[in-house]
Amino acid sequence: MHRTGADHPLYLAKYKKAVLSFCLLFILNFGCRQKERSWSIYKADASSTSYSPYSDINTNNLGKLRLAWTFNPDDATEGARFGASESNPIVIDGIMYTASARHRIYAIDAGTGRQRWSFDPFHDGRGGGVCRGVTYWEDGADKRILFTGGDQLFALNAETGKLILQFGDSGRVSMNIGMRDDPKLISVKPTSPGIIFRDLLIIGNEVSELYGAQPGYIRAYNVRTGKLVWTFHTVPKPGEPGYETWPKDAWKYAGGANDWGGLSLDEKRGMVFLATGSPSYDFYGADRAGQNLFGNCVIALDALTGKYIWHFQTIHHDLWDYDLPAPPNLVTILRDGKKIDAIAQTSKIGFLYVLNRETGEPMFPVEERPVPASDVPGEQPWPTQPFPQRPKPYSRQRITEDDLSDFSPASHDSLLKTFRTLRYEGLFTPPSLKGSLNFPGTIGGSEWGGAAYDPATGILYLKSNESPEINVLKKLDTTGIATHLSGFDLGRQTYRIYCAGCHKMDRYGDEPLYPSLVDLKKRMSETDAIQKIRDGGGKMPAFGGILNGKEKALTDFLFDRQGQSLSIRKGDVSEIEANSLSNTLSAQEKSKADTAARYLNVSAYGIWRDPDGNPAIRPPWAVLNAINLNTGEYEWQVPVGNIPELRKPGEPETGSTGSPGPMVTAGGLVWIAGSRDRSLRAFSKTNGKLLWTFILPGIGSSIPCSYKYRGKQYIAISVAGNKDTPAGSILAFALSD
């Protein structure tokens, strides 16, 4: 946070009396707006702790915790599906700032839930796109809210919600300018908020996962002017560190290696920390032979200049889409009586990486171990991968036949049959032509919700998910016999490339965030579906640009006009004989890529399920973990979330996958929502006992936050929509008087 003279303790002491009497007067009239900055940044603070220092709400008085207010942005477009905002609200001096699912920005009175102002970055458009929160900056009376909407960065006056006209181009800056390729041809859309260091907003972005993606440059903008100040190339150019870990021209065509999960900052050291995702294309890397720095890395940069300080690569030459999904937690570890500043990085693969904050050296031993080779032509997986020896993985990392679920004898048999056809040698089994099992999976391990860190105890809390997937590579034919494709098949190919990432290969989606498109014809007309695909809305991007002429093909597929099923569970992964879309892609990229061979993972992101749609492995499917960072040992692990209809008599709760992460409070509690049972839960932080549950009106779709308003502690969370509040809502809880 930018400190100003008025924040200074001496200044405050000197004027305390005057301030107090002013406040008294003020309370009688309007209430005193004391400085309240305990949750003024995404995930609580610059260290990304998701920790609240307040203990008014605690293990002894949860019985008195009540819903204090609900805010309904009421901004859903007609007929839209229910919104689910991932925004973790921040609170500055009694005002909450957050984004709705439609991606409008709101300033809300944090004690009453009353709206102060709202801002629509899309001029009444359908909006949408993921927004995990906004960033606050101030210098004296100049107070700003910075956020991204689509591929634009905006600066608003925090008091009025009006654009700051001196910032960029009348209040906005295009995030496409300053990337590698022509800004007119690309669109990069950050999903998590940037972080402030002095007058800089440092921010990553989200890029495509396909061939031809932009590299995920990290950038810093001057908060006053919107001017781009520095850029760190996550796919290094000649002469930069890491360049040698790629083919020599890769910087011209390789992409990904982006930080989409947010950043952390050590203000005293002037260091910014971030974590990147895999290089693109996610599942095949013949055109990017090498370790691929700075993909899948924790990176420390000089916050002022963007200069490289250190990195730690968690996966070399990623072939599994094991992005690092959340900002590093800045932590302090006790070793031999000494306090050592460190960082803890969560991952989808189930490892926690604990690194020295200044040097990036692991705080616990990490072994480089040989991993399986690939049998896909052209692919050269890296021969070894890092295995942290401590803490032990927080997700199961290997399953056997005994782990397959048995909801019925027939479904078990079917799973067993599929399992035996797959290539599977545990972690880091590369994708293959016949199909490889990938576990814990791309929605496995810890997701964008990241971890909560209790600085008083050195314990880290995180949710882990377990969700196996199957990776099946198919060669894309570049000779172009696309005309032989039926409309249905062309529709299917289009779907695989552009839609399956969210709606999943089997079209079951990932409710509530990504809706199921199974039986679409029962609830939507073809015209409406095409409109939706063209314009997007909610978190659905607009696909107008790729549709041209393929409308019929896509609807043939989406409306099952060939009666074919896409589900992997039936082993139905058909050949891609030709793929007109990828041909186009290949043609565009041919001049850039140094290899013509292209493979596509035709079952990418599809959750492996049994024939009835149930999880393919036995529970637990999600676990809440408490890890002592001083010892590297677990304090406790409990299932989190429940699917009652799948819970067997006498067994514990099943756990339920979901991305939102926990919050820990000084009142002895760990708070978490995000599972399909719509519950917000509070666990004892010392023993993992479930102490309080509240059924929300929709799935709790963000990390919770906690703050004080006029001396009273509140807990608030973004909640997905239902039929009464389709736009979603924010619920705030406080103790009854």
Q: Which positions touch ligand HEC (CB under 6 A)?
A: 80-81, 495, 498-499, 501-503, 514-515, 517, 520, 523-524, 529, 532-533, 537-541, 543, 554
Look up residue 428 and give its two tokens. Answer: 């880091």
- Taking the least distance from each CB to ligand HEC, the nearer of 317 and 503 is 503
CB of 533 to ligand HEC, least distance (A): 5
CB of 191 to ligand HEC, least distance (A): 10
Whether the CB-CB separation of 466 and 622 falls below 8 Å is answered with yes
- Taking the least distance from each CB to ligand HEC, the nearer of 625 and 701 is 701
C-alpha–C-alpha distance, residues 654 and 238, integer Å: 50
CB of 88 to ligand HEC, least distance (A): 19
395 C-beta neighbours (distance < 10 Å), count: 23
Residue located via tokens 């760190």: 232
CB of 590 to ligand HEC, least distance (A): 24
CB of 350 to ligand HEC, least distance (A): 25
CA 533 to centroid of chain Cα atoms: 23
Whether the CB-CB separation of 202 and 190 falls below 8 Å is answered with no
CB of 521 to ligand HEC, least distance (A): 10
- Taking the least distance from each CB to ligand HEC, the nearer of 460 and 542 is 542
CA 734 to centroid of chain Cα atoms: 28
- Taking the least distance from each CB to ligand HEC, the nearer of 93 and 556 is 556
Quote the Cα angle for 657-627-47, to 5°: 85
- Which residues, 6+ apart, have CB-to-CB distance to 704 below 8 Å? 88, 662, 663, 671, 672, 673, 680, 715, 716, 717
- Taking the least distance from each CB to ligand HEC, the nearer of 21 and 565 is 565
Look up residue 419 and give its two tokens. Answer: 């399992």
- Taking the least distance from each CB to ligand HEC, the nearer of 104 and 539 is 539
Whether the CB-CB separation of 266 and 310 falls below 8 Å is answered with no
- Taking the least distance from each CB to ligand HEC, the nearer of 186 and 333 is 186
Radius of gyration, CA atoms only, the chain: 25
CB of 82 to ligand HEC, least distance (A): 6
Whether the CB-CB separation of 19 and 632 falls below 8 Å is answered with no
- Taking the least distance from each CB to ligand HEC, the nearer of 196 and 554 is 554
C-alpha–C-alpha distance, residues 278 and 255, integer Å: 9
Whether the CB-CB separation of 277 and 295 falls below 8 Å is answered with yes
Q: List Cα–Cα distances, 343 to 51, 88, 132, 444, 648, in angstroms.
A: 15, 21, 22, 21, 39
CB of 305 to ligand HEC, least distance (A): 34
CB of 727 to ligand HEC, least distance (A): 10
How many residues can be counted in the chain? 737
- Taking the least distance from each CB to ligand HEC, the nearer of 488 and 694 is 488
Whether the CB-CB separation of 425 and 432 falls below 8 Å is answered with no
